[in-house]
Structure 1
Amino acid sequence: MTRAAVATAFGGPEVVRIIDEALAKPAAGQVLVEVKAIGVNPIDYKLYSGAFGSDQSTLPLHLGSEASGVVVAVGNITTGPGGPISVGDEVIVSGAKGAYADKLLVPADAVLPKPASLSWEAAAGLLVVAGTSYDTLEVTGVKAGETVLVHGAAGGVGSIVVQQAKARGARVIGTARAVNHNVLRGYGAEPVEYGDGLLERVKELAPGGVDVAIDTVGTDEAIDVSLALVDKARLVTIAAFGRAAEEGFPSVGGGNPQSAERRKKARLDLVAAAGDGEFEVTIAKTFPLEDTAKAHEELKSEHPRGKFILIP
């Protein structure tokens, strides 16, 4: 048996329930993981909000896609992206369905080795944000010596973009609330406060121009300022899909199969980079699995910087 958090209807976080479910034994190519920590992402509550439809036949919706834990059983001939998988392995689960659970039966392809240097919480919250960040940098082709403007630079994805762009040798200007400016300076970025006059403040910091703009917030301000500064081919958003379609600049995520493939191919490298300390995932807050609805409610409002994590 496993306890799992599911959405029993479409609506707000009040529709989330904890249920008990039977689990089959792993078949060939499957792995059973005892979950230690679970990553929480905005897409998790958007799926039951009705934003992507409200087909009643899909209920209950099993939530979550990323976790970390220990392998407790394997099927025959079980090999994952990092090689053979054995009972007792500490692993990261990525791209799974229904990761909000205390036990998780997943395909071996969704299981990657967890570096010992990463905590359960950091490992569980790693690959959605790091994969999204990597995607934006690949699409825009960020190179050493370029100036990159990151909107929402202190957020879950934005902070990883900053660190990965710096690792590529780029100069980074990041928009954020003043309370987060010292954090951005610690990552080697030059912070700027968003709001009225943002375009002028960025131009003052970068009189020679900006090469790339990466939007992680989806506001009209972020898009308008970016369009005024960079070529459309070197602007990317992870949130403003409507504006991207209207204006003709790239977006990543949102069901884009090319994005999914890029992120999948990069998983092992991203895990290794995090394990080696090349970038860090900040944990904002942890919640017991029973408080999934509360976690979603808080994530929808202004909240501490970093990832929310559920603990079974």
Structure 2
Amino acid sequence: MKDTIVKVEHLSHKYSRDWAIRDINFEIKDNGILGLLGSNGAGKSTTMNILCGVLNQTEGNVYINGINLKEDPVGAKKLIGFLPQTPPLHLDLTVDEYLMHCAELRLIEKDKVRDAMESAKEQCGISHFSNRLIRNLSGGYKQRVGIAQAIIHKPRLVVLDEPTNGLDPNQILEVRNLIKRVAEDKAVIFSSHILSEAQATCHEIIMIENGIMVFSDTMEAFDNYIEPNSLVMSMENAPAPAVLEAVPEVEEVYYITPKKARIKFSGSPAIAQELVKKSVTEGWELKEIQLEKSSLDEVFAQLSKKATRN
């Protein structure tokens, strides 16, 4: 367990009579970004609040670098940095005043506070705003200050709850790149309900729906969760749609251009091989054939249905 940064075992929590999350299990063994996905109300925030020691779980255990969070909360929290969905900023303080306050809360030794502040500011690209009032910063730079307070004490784990929420496209890109830099020497848990954000940022994915974990694997496995059921064929001598629809297992044919057809099929993707053979014998002069992956939204929908069935 000492080599594991985070270990979550049979984590469950009940509000009044209802379970918010039930039997959540996962590990983070290395640096990098883990995406915690789920629709609003799925149980993401409950999970993250327990991970950060804000909420005591009803059942199960959380270990941070081998320390049981429930048994030794102070020791575990020293290794955790947290940015909630609404950054805990004091708007009437300057960036330096705020980060000094955060360093004191984190019990950083006085002779090391200045170095810790400068390191966090440099990593987050806010050194030039040291004496600026936080209320006068843009949304993107306020978020950077929020991330700076989460990493000022050099934690092993950084938990970010919807860190790009409410930002414009340029700010999202900047914060996304910052998170990737932070993850070079830390484990980062990144919560989002926006699938494209997870795809652009995360290495591995956990998805929670209706309080249960319905997926835990790599981003690539998430992309490929649903077997393809359509392909695109480009042909120099394209046949009529009815000719393609006569091929066994072909359900629907739609021509995108006069020479490019989208073909929906039932059964195995091996139908692509049959279409290649058919193209040779029929003289369609095939230029390209490509299976189409399911969209992230379709994967999300399928996993959500799985949670409902359970």
If you compute each CA radius of gyration, which structure gives the higher value, 1 or 2? Answer: 2
TM-score where L is the length of structure 1: 0.27
TM-score where L is the length of structure 2: 0.27
